[in-house]
Structure 1
């Protein structure tokens, strides 16, 4: 909401513009006054809305004054268009000159039509003038202090379509200072709580944008997803918007008012979406637009009925050596969101249930990612709870701004959506005494030649029962998958992305891009020596020693069954690079990392394979390498304490040294314990 507003007073000469401004300042009628009053600044502490208000008087008698008026009109947040109730020509000028002139300037701001000199109007022409004013705005009602105000109730007149910018029409007299104060308050309110974006007086209904916003608010407040707001939900809504509860009598009164005018607005003792919208429409019609505006602003809307940029994306700095994960509150929020959407209680979200979950948002954030194939689903292809949380962990790691905006869209329960996130170090410090890593979400890059089974490995992460079928559903362009991997008693989330051959330089040659990965998974086919040679050449081409390595040999089922074609050996040596390529085991030994894991992604392929492992073992090793990078870095990139055996030896030595020191201190203390009458002398002889 604005904290500083500018009100421009315009109108024909002699209508009393300067007199109104002077009466506002002096709080008494003053005559005569200067022709143009200098700009007046009203401090926030003396205004009901607690905003600084600048009041600018105007005239257009000279070219210089007209130029200044044009500049001020473009800077103004609201226009007070003054006419006199004793001169119908000034009202005609308002419609034939001033309003069209404002439109030519592109000044799309609220206009308050002010009928001045109410004490001097001629009773003979009063009816005609008031009728003309009512055709410009709506039928008159009374403000809080009795000032006649139009614009608080519907009219349906054709003139309103022509001059839609008129927020309200009021009457006042400079000889009655209370009415002048009320007029300027209404001008402030027209800026801070305008009715035009919310309500269409020609149709006597809420505007579509307002109704959509209120439907979103209703959806977010309907915690049990039963389509009605019960007393508990209404009180939670009231506390969030106004920080005060509703008493039982007040709740009963709300239901009575809605039921009397809109029977469909109440069901089972609670408010329906139609009743909720009607209640806000009633506030507008009765001249209290500040109430629905307070609700809309509490849920992040700006004066254009769009979610505020600072609400969707508050400032969130992430150091270069850190990444972002869901906090405990964020994880709980998405867990609760899943429970709310799972209406049939089958532990998965169908397409209809997903539409319900993301109704307050533009769409789900995984369009174009291969959703839902990239994560865990049930037999019907519906998103499971684990898959739902895995996706949000992946989204937070890869694009924190998307998670921030969706926390806002989906109604994160808290004043600050950043409470749903936490910043963690990418890599733990290398120490002798290791502590549990703070991270739980890791990102791996799967590298290998074409046709070695990289996509099948991704499929095994989310569907170990039938990895090949799942792999066929992943997109061909940079496939990605995310799944949960338990390691060392911690439930971790692993995001695997396949590096398509031909795009290696895009990621591997850029330290800025490669640092976003936590582990490299090198995949090759034992029956295709060229696939391992591809990995060797890749490592020679790019400096990758700063990333943990895990080598994986695929298609173990074909090797064991003999179905694979025999390896093709060249008749002559093609190059020294090929001639000198070591075996995979020897190559890993030279790098001082674990030997390759032999795996098959074919269903039940490892039943008779003694040397192969299930794909789950690959994912466990990948996460373990990401958790403890020093244990899987090639020799050139490791520190002294990276060797696990050496680290265990050093820890044991450190422990034995500490015990020996403790024993020595205990012995010295025992020797120095005072006893008998010589105790003082013994202490003095230390």
Structure 2
């Protein structure tokens, strides 16, 4: 992240030219006979500067005459501009200044500057060039001994040689730090940057042939630096990689560049290592930051987890743009074009991520959704899985979209559904019909052995099995289905095993539920009483849409040992009679999944405690008829009395 302000503290022995360097930078000319210490100077960012440049850079001059003030300024510094000018001040770099920084516990970059190099410049030739070489060699022992020293440079305040560059190096040590990228002691890129660059290589290798061809390199250049790569520069890069991979060179055992194919992953890493060695590490940072990496070589949290303002009763779904990206990703990774992602293809797909989401691992992916006969997730299952993930925890989806290389703001791949309104009828509130949602969540509730797991398996198109396996931990199944009229929806079915009681007691968890599918074994006389007891224990279940389902309907139906039989219990709640379903009757299963979805779309019709509309209308009709009848009788009696009063007597 770009710092708003960088504090650069200039220090060094008295007389080395610290103040002259500041004025040469600010005034662009040499001013002799200066005061001992200049006041603080603030240099604002130039409009032409990089967006990663700080808004302001503060230059702080110091003097050795006030040690306490010097220490105070050093402790507040972001970078130290350490200046020397002759043999004596050079010796004190190692013996005094670097030791002082360490004793203060400073862990900030140091830019070492040899000032008063008045003879350096474009016209330096002959013997002067030899002297320059000697001066260069002065830096090597310090660079080798002190890892805090970021880089070294020669300057002249008098001729203004190297002054602007030294100032830029101070900024760059903060905006484009070398420390996270390169370990100078062993001459290698650090592990975190290697991991990041490998991921970037995978994302840029569009055709997945393990080479970056010219088109892919050009696309990378444009994304990172907003310009096309020069043909000569591209040729130079290729030639450099070819030369250093020659038999007598350091990388003779590596394939760095292959003509007609492109740059290999090793070549991409070596190229960035060369940039670091030659002080061009801002190029590597340009690549990293284009892919949202921070100085700590992690992707920015605000990119992975963008903030969304979500009303309490709304849900999150994938937008058409999100679905399109996931479809394209699936098709690109399905190398054998068999319509399914095998384990090898899935492994390759998730190489540029931290691995499978924990939610997926916890719910037995890929068998939580649709797979083909070889156990490979299909495109239908892939989209269903991400629909479920987005509904349950959209932050997982936004993070993985970024990992997969989604080029835009991850929020564009999502859409927020309308808030779910509440309506009132017969003195009670219920959920209004749903108009814009495509993903629904159903909790399968019922006694052990009632057949819930088989419903989940059947929903994913798997065949019936007689083998019973108790559900110990939560299970999930997600698939798409199409209602009459062609509308497509995604339905999530969840069962909770031993955690069912804790889920029912968790009202926050129940907010995620669109319908409770209450199941019992119609061939087991003890099965339904479990559901009846739930309504006695948790009265608030009457506030949720419910659907009673009699499973194992292919077996002999038995009388339930309960104070009310299932049909009577449903009538008492004013909901539909139990739906009779068998995992061996495909038509009954299809009807069940349709009914569950319809209950999600029209929750009021399936919420307990509301008389059916016809009964309600008949009751209203009877009440109206009684009122009207009473009113008519009263009016007739009143009319008779009035007539009697005003009719003339026959005897008058």
TM range (shorter): 0.7 to 0.9
Aligned to 1:532: 528
**1:452-477 deviation digits (Å, cap 9, x = unpaired):** 112222222223324667x85x9621
> Structure 1 residues 345 and 645 mapped into 2: Cα distance closer, same or farther (>3 Å)?
farther
2:208 is the alignment partner of 1:225: yes
Aligned to 1:37: 38
2:370 is the alignment partner of 1:376: yes
Per the TM alignment, residue 616 of structure 1 is displaced from its structure 2 partner at its CA by 2.8
Which SS does the other structure have where 1:358 is aligned? Answer: helix
Which SS does the other structure have where 1:41 is aligned? Answer: strand
Per the TM alignment, residue 644 of structure 1 is displaced from its structure 2 partner at its CA by 8.9
Per the TM alignment, residue 183 of structure 1 is displaced from its structure 2 partner at its CA by 1.0
- Given that 2:340 and 2:376 are in contact with CA atoms closer than 8 Å, whether structure 1 keeps it comes out as yes
Aligned to 1:592: 574
Which SS does the other structure have where 2:46 is aligned? Answer: helix
- Given that 1:457 and 1:467 are in contact with CA atoms closer than 8 Å, whether structure 2 keeps it comes out as no
Of residues 301-310 and 614-623 in structure 1, the stretch that sits farther from structure 2 once superposed is 614-623
Per the TM alignment, residue 328 of structure 1 is displaced from its structure 2 partner at its CA by 0.8
> Structure 1 residues 204 and 599 mapped into 2: Cα distance closer, same or farther (>3 Å)?
same
Could you tell me which runs of 5 or more consecutive residues in structure 2 were left unpaired when the two chains were aligned. 121-126, 246-254, 425-431, 618-652
Which SS does the other structure have where 2:152 is aligned? Answer: strand
- Given that 1:341 and 1:353 are in contact with CA atoms closer than 8 Å, whether structure 2 keeps it comes out as yes
- Given that 2:526 and 2:560 are in contact with CA atoms closer than 8 Å, whether structure 1 keeps it comes out as no
- Given that 2:528 and 2:560 are in contact with CA atoms closer than 8 Å, whether structure 1 keeps it comes out as no
Structure-to-structure mapping, 1:122-141, within 5 angstroms = 130-137=136-143
Q: 1:413 aligns with which of 396, 407, 411?
A: 407
Structure-2 separation of matches of 1:308 and 1:133:
36
Structure-2 separation of matches of 1:628 and 1:214:
51
Aligned length: 587
**1:27-50 deviation digits (Å, cap 9, x = unpaired):** 222232222222211011277445
Could you tell me which runs of 5 or more consecutive residues in structure 1 were left unpaired when the two chains were aligned. 138-158, 561-565, 570-577, 608-612, 648-686
Q: 1:462 aligns with which of 441, 455, 460?
A: 460
Which SS does the other structure have where 1:325 is aligned? Answer: strand
> Structure 1 residues 266 and 195 mapped into 2: Cα distance closer, same or farther (>3 Å)?
farther
> Structure 1 residues 361 and 502 mapped into 2: Cα distance closer, same or farther (>3 Å)?
closer
**1:621-675 deviation digits (Å, cap 9, x = unpaired):** 1111112212222234x8xxx849999xxxxxxxxxxxxxxxxxxxxxxxxxxxx
> Structure 1 residues 397 and 568 mapped into 2: Cα distance closer, same or farther (>3 Å)?
closer
Aligned to 2:331: 339
Query: Could you state the TM-score of these two structures normalised by the residue count of structure 1?
Result: 0.78
- Given that 2:482 and 2:488 are in contact with CA atoms closer than 8 Å, whether structure 1 keeps it comes out as yes
> Structure 1 residues 126 and 428 mapped into 2: Cα distance closer, same or farther (>3 Å)?
closer
Structure-1 separation of matches of 2:579 and 2:192:
57
Per the TM alignment, residue 230 of structure 1 is displaced from its structure 2 partner at its CA by 2.8
Of residues 587-596 and 312-321 in structure 1, the stretch that sits farther from structure 2 once superposed is 587-596
Q: 2:58 aligns with which of 54, 59, 62?
A: 54
Structure-to-structure mapping, 1:255-654, within 5 angstroms = 255-262=238-245, 264-365=256-357, 366-414=360-408, 416-425=409-418, 427=420, 437-466=435-464, 472=469, 476-488=472-484, 489-500=486-497, 503-504=500-501, 506-542=502-538, 543-559=540-556, 578=562, 581-601=563-583, 605-606=584-585, 613-636=587-610, 643=613
2:66 is the alignment partner of 1:65: no
What's the Cα RMSD here?
3.1
- Given that 1:443 and 1:519 are in contact with CA atoms closer than 8 Å, whether structure 2 keeps it comes out as yes
> Structure 1 residues 422 and 502 mapped into 2: Cα distance closer, same or farther (>3 Å)?
closer
Per the TM alignment, residue 359 of structure 1 is displaced from its structure 2 partner at its CA by 0.6
Structure-2 separation of matches of 1:130 and 1:21:
23
- Given that 1:448 and 1:501 are in contact with CA atoms closer than 8 Å, whether structure 2 keeps it comes out as no
Which SS does the other structure have where 2:11 is aligned? Answer: strand
Of residues 391-400 and 271-280 in structure 1, the stretch that sits farther from structure 2 once superposed is 271-280
**1:131-179 deviation digits (Å, cap 9, x = unpaired):** 3322223xxxxxxxxxxxxxxxxxxxxx2xx322221100111112242
Which SS does the other structure have where 1:23 is aligned? Answer: helix
Per the TM alignment, residue 247 of structure 1 is displaced from its structure 2 partner at its CA by 6.2
Per the TM alignment, residue 250 of structure 1 is displaced from its structure 2 partner at its CA by 5.8
> Structure 1 residues 404 and 13 mapped into 2: Cα distance closer, same or farther (>3 Å)?
same
Structure-2 separation of matches of 1:532 and 1:386:
35
Structure-to-structure mapping, 1:83-232, within 5 angstroms = 83-84=84-85, 86=86, 88-119=87-118, 130-137=136-143, 159=144, 162-232=145-215
**1:297-352 deviation digits (Å, cap 9, x = unpaired):** 01011112221122211222211121111111111111122112212222222222
